[in-house]
């Protein structure tokens, strides 16, 4: 059957044989997406057999979904306990953040356990990938279970996969923006190509019961150019994020049919590739008094992390003092600065304030409020906070301190890292001012 393509408006369903900027039917712009059209002859339509439904009793649940470990606890947890057969994962992140590095390492982890992996190299040549492997893991440069596939035609890839017997344990597509099918005229990376090619790969993965990772680049603004259209088609969407200049990398599931979405996996980019971060501390030296530094314990997924908040308060030379905030919510931090100004009587309107979270972590729970205030006052007074102390609590507009959840767990983590004093209380002024 000859496949033809049409451009379909994603808003109203209008079809056109050519690409149009504006849909003539509904008037929307940039909604025409190329789609394959297989026109079955009327006779073949008649042969359709009725669909079958099953009752719950008929479904075999005795051997609950078996999970394959990725070789890293950090990643298994984000997936919900490992990879599930036939699971389609969209692995999204900014260019250069380390997606290829992480997934080559994951492939090596599987190969080490006698699995076979097919890695589609659409962006780099097999030579480049093999150079990386040699550098990451010299002993694995001659392994046989890893198949590097330098092919971007999705139908050729599917033909290769169908010939593999037994099928591989994992397929990695690096990346969805490079694969194409000749059934469509669009260029690689266009919405139509990304969607059609990925759908074909995902349906193969479901049929063959093989987990598949689809790498997708996202832009700085956070929208996955193209791959966004895949979010509903895959089982799991994982974002790989971090500041490129810093070495901390976070794995975050934003959708997961096979697990929770509040887990994070933490990795560090090193000379030897990505290393799971086991220790629960991010920050500078704990043994030296440091002005403008306050420690706190924040909750990330099911983990607690002791993290350093740094503040710098300096005299301003502009009519509008600067507020440079990294790793914390901007509005919340500005609110805390206003509370410091009013309750602690810090004339911050005359000062530029810089607040930063060590290691590149992004904090989005109010438990760090108290530490932000403590770091700011420490920098303003140019005096360090007590050595080996930690500040946990939510600060209200009125300068009250509210306790946050899981205090015991937070204290335990802090004690483990040698913290001697754990500050929390009821009133910001009464707690912080006596320290200076
Ligand atoms: P890469 O995996 O190619 O990024 P992506 O596939 O997301 O575009 O990672 C590229 C960056 O990672 C590159 O700037 C160098 C850095 N890197 C390391 O720091 N250590 C390593 O061992 C490797 C392989 C890469
Ligand atoms: Mg890459």
Cβ contacts of residue 385 below 8 Å, gap of 6+?
289, 293, 294, 374, 375, 378, 391, 435
Contact, 82 vs 68, CB < 8 A?
yes
Q: Tell me what pLDDT residue 389 has.
A: 94
Distance (Å, whole) CA 349 – CA 346: 9
At residue 296, what are phi and psi to the nearest 5 degrees?
Answer: -145, 170
How far is ligand 1, taken at its centre, from the CA of residue 252, in Å? Answer: 18
Cα 136 to chain centroid distance, Å, stands at 22
How is residue 167 annotated by DSSP? P
Q: Tell me what pLDDT residue 301 has.
A: 76
Mutate to test the pocket of ligand 1, among 93, 95, 101 (most ligand atoms within 8 A of CB): 101
Distance (Å, whole) CA 271 – CA 136: 8
Q: Where are the alpha helices (DSSP H) in 164-252?
A: 191-208
Torsion angle in degrees (nearest 10) through CA of 230, 233, 234, 240: 20
Q: Tell me what pLDDT residue 1 has.
A: 47
Contact, 199 vs 87, CB < 8 A?
no
How is residue 180 annotated by DSSP? B
Q: Tell me what pLDDT residue 44 has.
A: 54
Query: Is residue 273 within 6 Å of ligand 1 at its C-beta?
Result: yes
Query: Is residue 289 within 6 Å of ligand 1 at its C-beta?
Result: no
How is residue 385 annotated by DSSP? P
Q: Tell me what pLDDT residue 34 has.
A: 85
Question: Of the bound ligands, which one is closest to the alpha carbon of residue 93?
Answer: 1
Atom of ligand 1 nearest to the CA of 97: 7
Q: Which residues surround ligand 2, an ion (CB under 5 A)?
A: 100
Atom of ligand 1 nearest to the CA of 215: 6
Q: Tell me what pLDDT residue 41 has.
A: 55
Query: Is residue 249 within 6 Å of ligand 1 at its C-beta?
Result: no
Contact, 280 vs 295, CB < 8 A?
no
pTM value?
0.80
What token pair was written down for 352?
A: 């530029």
Instruction: Encode pLDDT of 373-430 as tens digits.
Output: 999 999 999 999 999 999 999 999 999 999 999 999 899 988 988 899 999 989 999 9
Q: Tell me what pLDDT residue 192 has.
A: 85
First to last CA, the chain: 81
Cβ contacts of residue 223 below 8 Å, gap of 6+?
none
Query: Is residue 93 within 6 Å of ligand 1 at its C-beta?
Result: yes
How far is ligand 2, taken at its centre, from the CA of residue 126, in Å? Answer: 12
**For every one of its 436 residues, what pLDDT tens digit does the chain have, with 9 covering 90 and above?**
455 788 888 888 888 888 888 989 888 888 888 888 765 555 555 677 888 898 888 776 655 568 999 999 999 999 999 999 999 999 999 889 999 999 999 999 999 988 999 999 999 999 999 899 888 887 776 778 999 999 999 999 999 999 998 999 999 999 899 999 998 888 888 888 888 999 999 999 999 999 999 999 887 665 545 567 788 889 999 999 887 777 889 898 989 999 888 788 889 898 889 999 877 777 778 888 999 999 999 988 778 889 999 999 999 999 999 999 999 999 999 999 999 999 999 999 999 999 999 877 889 899 999 999 999 999 999 999 999 999 999 999 999 999 999 999 899 988 988 899 999 989 999 999 999 9
How far is ligand 2, taken at its centre, from the CA of residue 215, in Å? Answer: 8
């Amino acid at each position: 059957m000859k496949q033809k393509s049409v451009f379909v408006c994603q808003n109203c369903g209008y079809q056109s044989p050519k690409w149009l900027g504006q849909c003539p039917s509904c008037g929307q712009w940039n909604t025409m997406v190329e789609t394959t059209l297989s026109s079955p002859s009327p006779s073949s339509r008649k042969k359709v057999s009725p669909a079958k439904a099953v009752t719950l009793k008929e479904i075999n649940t005795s051997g609950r979904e078996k999970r394959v470990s990725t070789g890293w606890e950090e990643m298994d947890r984000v997936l919900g306990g490992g990879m599930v057969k036939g699971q389609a994962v969209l692995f999204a992140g900014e260019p250069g953040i380390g997606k290829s590095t992480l997934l080559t390492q994951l492939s090596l982890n599987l190969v080490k356990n006698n699995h076979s992996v097919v890695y589609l190299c659409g962006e780099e040549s097999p030579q480049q990938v093999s150079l990386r492997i040699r550098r990451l893991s010299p002993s694995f440069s001659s392994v046989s279970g890893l198949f590097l596939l330098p092919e971007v035609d999705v139908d050729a890839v599917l033909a290769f996969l169908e010939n593999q017997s037994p099928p591989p344990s994992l397929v990695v597509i690096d990346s969805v923006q490079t694969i194409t099918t000749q059934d469509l005229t669009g260029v690689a990376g266009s919405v139509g190509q990304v969607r059609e090619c990925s759908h074909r790969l995902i349906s193969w993965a479901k049929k063959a019961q093989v987990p598949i990772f689809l790498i997708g680049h996202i832009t700085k603004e956070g929208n996955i150019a193209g791959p966004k259209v895949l979010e509903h088609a895959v089982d799991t969407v994982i974002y790989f994020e971090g500041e490129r200049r810093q070495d901390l990398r976070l794995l975050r599931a934003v959708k997961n049919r096979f697990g929770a979405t509040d887990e994070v996996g933490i990795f560090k980019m090193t000379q030897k590739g990505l290393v799971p971060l086991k220790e629960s501390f991010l920050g500078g030296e704990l043994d030296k008094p440091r002005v403008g530094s306050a420690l706190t314990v924040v909750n990330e997924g099911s983990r607690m992390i002791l993290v350093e908040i740094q503040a710098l308060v300096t005299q301003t030379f502009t009519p509008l003092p600067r507020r440079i905030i990294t790793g914390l919510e901007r509005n919340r931090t500005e609110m805390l600065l206003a509370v410091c100004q009013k309750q602690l009587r810090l004339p911050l309107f005359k000062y530029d304030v810089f607040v930063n979270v060590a290691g590149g972590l992004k904090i989005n729970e109010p438990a760090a409020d108290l530490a932000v205030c403590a770091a700011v006052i420490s920098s303003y007074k140019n005096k360090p906070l007590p050595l080996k102390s930690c500040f946990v609590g939510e600060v209200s507009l009125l300068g009250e301190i509210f306790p946050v959840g899981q205090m015991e767990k937070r204290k335990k983590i802090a004690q483990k890292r040698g913290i001697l004093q754990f500050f929390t209380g009821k009133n910001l002024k009464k707690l912080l001012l006596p320290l200076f």
